[in-house]
Structure 1
């Protein structure tokens, strides 16, 4: 399924799941204004070791100026395809796939991920704890030690 099906099918979603879906959509569309409204002022991205540029990124400048800019430079195309949203109260866990293409000669690959988004009492997203099938990046030559 395409990403838009999962992000727009929301009649039974909780408010927290709607927030997570809105963030995926805003990230895909690079809608900075909506991203800023959905996130706390100093979000934290905890990206699993083995994932390209894995580490902990704190604040908008590190998350978007460092992590995402490095990630975009590594791939010809890269996107997240969320499939399952699980509301745990103050967290929303999302299971899905990264879809990426290293270069023009490379075919698209899919890599499983789990994102757990922290949600504060005001409904803003505090950040993400991310894990992915990092071995897929190693076999495609994308992971660094």
Structure 2
């Protein structure tokens, strides 16, 4: 997955010293000190995600779908893992527009499953519309 680098090179090493603000295997921190100054700007407007359009054009991702996760983040319920892997990962999804501020991994799981079960072109259009709104209103940043 292509992305602009927004963190310092030793980010994984430094992560061990930081407190995760999200329950579960995903690491999220509101004011993560590993993010560079330019990285904050890129992330503020989700510009760090733009290179993923290359993945979309290559057919590796779609515009809408469950966000790609690292293997170590795909823990827990085997059923959830099978459901989310049954579709291509997306640049945006239900969690990005509805659950971004919850801090609960279980919410992320529920939004992924709901998207896969209810997906349709109309739902994708709604998610794309609300993603633009979410980015410009800076929700969850």
TM-score of the superposed pair, with normalisation by structure 1: 0.24
- Identify the structure with the greater helix proportion: 2
